[in-house]
A and B are shown apart, each in its own frame.
Chain A
Amino acid sequence: MYEQMVTARHYEERLVDEYLVGKQPAFDISAGPIPGELHLAAGHEASGAGVCMHLRDDDTVTAPHRPHHIAIAKGVDLKRMTAEIFGRKTGLCRGKGGHMHLFDPDVNFACAGIIAQGCPPAVGAAMAAKKRNTDSVAVAFLGEGAIDQGGFLESLNLAAVHDLPVVFVVEDNDWAISMPKDRVTDVQNGAQRAAGFDLPGVRIDSDDATAVYEAAGEAVMRARDGNGPTLIEVQVHRRMGHFMGDAEAYRPEADIDRAKQRDSIERLAADLRSHGVTDDDIDEMRERAHGRVEAAISWAKEQPEPEPAEAYENVFTNPPAQAATDGGSAADAPGDAGETGGDN
């Protein structure tokens, strides 16, 4: 768990470096090797790692627009995920998805870039598990800004009515971009939403990875045993802006400082030491994590970019026969998009 968290934190720190290439001194979101929005999850590591420790490859996870720490904890291929973020041909999604649309069928991981919209597919994965009598579970991660969204509330209800093996994990980092929680909901915490649907709601008031691990263990066990859904909310911290380039003018300095002072990784290291783990062991884990991140980034940067014509592939799994129906000239008609995504 510690190693996953260190991997995630170092990964985000390194992505900052890479993202800023070509974006200084003037910040242009479309410049550099990693263009587009980048939502980093430094300060969220405990929830991803604490929950995913209980999951197998056949369990489904849906992550929101801030997905890296969850993907890492779920075991998504770090090299191919990094290549995707760099927009390369060998990325998880062949360069089509980018950082908030990561998909890895090998470990049943998917993302949704729109608030709360990963919840219904997680319910669907749980539905499939139940219908097939497997003991797989599904976990939907979302932010506290998503707890007012219909997609989330409807998913809670559907999961509860059908006793589906799904766990909803709200990562409460206090901010929906610039909107503090108390301006968008009157409940103290997101776990209270569970009561309205008659399912268990658990609030973890700190990003203590051990506490998350324990609560998630119970929830995942409940789901695997056929006892239905659970809603967990974890207090995490947003150590950076909503997206890279967010100056956070709306956010009190003290709040940023507070977020940075509470470090789940340091806390877990202290816990480990108190349980007899040596500094050497901790250093070794840290070095291994850093090495993995560096290897992934180096590999990704060496990967080729996709050919422009690949833009027309993968619209369908079963593409219609040569779409001769469009009246464009050969110059702008795409080639035969008969190739489908498979192993590569």
Chain B
Amino acid sequence: MATESRDYTEATETDRELTMSRAMVEAIAWEMRENEEVFYMGEDVADYGGIFSSTTGLLDEFGRDRVMDVPISETAYLGAAVGAAQAGMRPIAELMFVDFFGVAMDQIYNNMAKNTYMSGGSFSVPMVLTTAVGGTYNDAGQHSQTLYGTFAHLPGMKVVVPSTAYDAKGLMHTAIRDDDPVVYMFHKRLMGLGWMPSPSGPKTGVSEEDYAIPFGEADVKRPGDDVTVVTLGLHVHRAMEAAERLDDDGIDAEVIDLRTLVPLDTETVLDSVRKTGKLLVVDEDYRSFGVTGEIIARAAEGALDDLSAVKRLAIHDVPIPYARPLEDEVNPGTDDIAAAVRELHE
């Protein structure tokens, strides 16, 4: 079920503009005030406020017992979050960069994601794993991945990828309240960091009260009749920019922000594909065996007769390279998206 995209240009006066990081932190703080069982663990989340400003100000309000700097021991503290969650608390544990998942994947996948199932439903693991994703700032192969597909592929975890401040807050409320493990993947380039300028899109109006955005509801960011562009994270903004350009040439692209990968809103994608007949999927993850292939597969399963052309843009199965011309080559840009839509439209 798609939600209509809000028109932020008409935001009421009560709607403050917030960066994505501020919006995300606001939801965390609200839930921490509401429920003493919510606490945050991670590296540099206390005094530093999170390397990507994911916990700014939380230490001052909640103190070290609830905003915990932990040793560089991801296996131990992510596993501890699993244990605390199974004991009924609601921990939020931060993996500083998603690229570091390897040192703790056993806890993430063999415990966090499977314990509910393996216990026949007798245990729940109500925790949030927050993690920073994405490149575009030349941090090379071990600090630039998104790994959307890796986490979405493995059953037992809900996977959330906000692209705006409004969504970041609403999805965080939902994530903390959810009784299952949620992997909340925030893109560094969207957080509104002074030292890593964001595009204009992610900073949006955000109402002060708490609100929850249900998982599994994609957002039609821009309706269009000619080509469907399905994407998430940073590439929502690149797709919107491409759509504006295409609009000048009379090509009407529909842009869909998935917002969550697990659960995935297949219906919104199918509705759009039935209308346009043409599908482009864009993401910042590796191309093969990932999100782009999954969306195309679902479109083929559900609307094969309506499809006349399909294309995908993603990282072309190479580790993320360091040098600027190399990273620019492999990470789909606005131009690449516009060119792909044109190709489909022909």
Contacts and interface: CB of A to CB of B under 8 A. Distances in A.
Contacts of A245: 195
A113 interface: yes
A66 B139 CA distance: 14
Interface stretch (A3-11, A144-152, A269-277): A144-152
Interface in A118-160: 145-146, 148-151
Interface in B101-130: 102-103
A36 interface: yes
Interface stretch (B66-74, B160-168, B212-220): B66-74
A267 to B, nearest CB: 30
A245 B194 CA distance: 10
B322 interface: yes
A145 B72 contact: yes
Interface string B226-250: 0000000000000000000000000
B141 A176 contact: no
Contacts of B195: 27-29, 245
A35 B321 contact: no
A100 B140 contact: yes
Contacts of A96: 140-141, 319, 321-323, 326
B178 interface: no
Given A29-B196, A114-B103, A250 B323 contact: no
Contacts of B30: none
B140 A101 contact: yes
Interface string B135-150: 0111111110000000
Interface stretch (B201-209, B264-272, B310-318): B310-318
Interface size band for B: 35 or more
A93 B339 CA distance: 31
A12 to B, nearest CB: 19
B143 A113 contact: yes
Interface stretch (A55-63, A201-209, A292-300, A301-309): A301-309
Q: Mostly helix, strand, loop or mixed at chain A's interface?
A: loop
Query: Residue among A145, A309, A311 with the most chain B CB within 10 A?
Result: A311
B334 interface: no
B59 to A, nearest CB: 10
Given A30-B196, A95-B323, A178 B48 contact: yes
B306 interface: no
B51 interface: yes
B3 interface: no
Contacts of A310: 326
Interface in B38-84: 43-44, 46-48, 51, 69-73, 75-76
Query: Residue among B69, B100, B323, B329 with the most chain A CB within 10 A?
Result: B323
Query: Residue among B137, B140, B141, B330 with the most chain A CB within 10 A?
Result: B140
B138 to A, nearest CB: 4
Contact of B72 (A113, A116, A305): A116
Given A97-B140, A311-B329, A148 B196 contact: no
Given A149-B72, A326-B288, A305 B324 contact: yes
A332 interface: yes
Query: Residue among B137, B139, B313, B321 with the most chain A CB within 10 A?
Result: B321
B197 interface: yes
B313 to A, nearest CB: 7
A93 B322 CA distance: 10
Interface of B: 43-44, 46-48, 51, 69-73, 75-76, 99-100, 102-103, 136-143, 194-197, 287-288, 311-313, 316-319, 321-330, 336, 339, 343
* Across the A-B interface, the 8 shortest Cβ-Cβ residue pairs: A95-B323, A87-B323, A98-B322, A308-B329, A35-B138, A148-B71, A30-B137, A36-B138
15 contacts: A30-B136, A87-B138, A96-B321, A101-B140, A112-B142, A114-B102, A117-B103, A176-B72, A177-B48, A184-B70, A249-B47, A249-B48, A308-B325, A315-B318, A334-B316
Given A326-B317, A332-B313, 11 more contacts: A27-B194, A36-B139, A36-B140, A87-B324, A114-B102, A115-B100, A178-B44, A179-B47, A179-B71, A311-B330, A315-B318
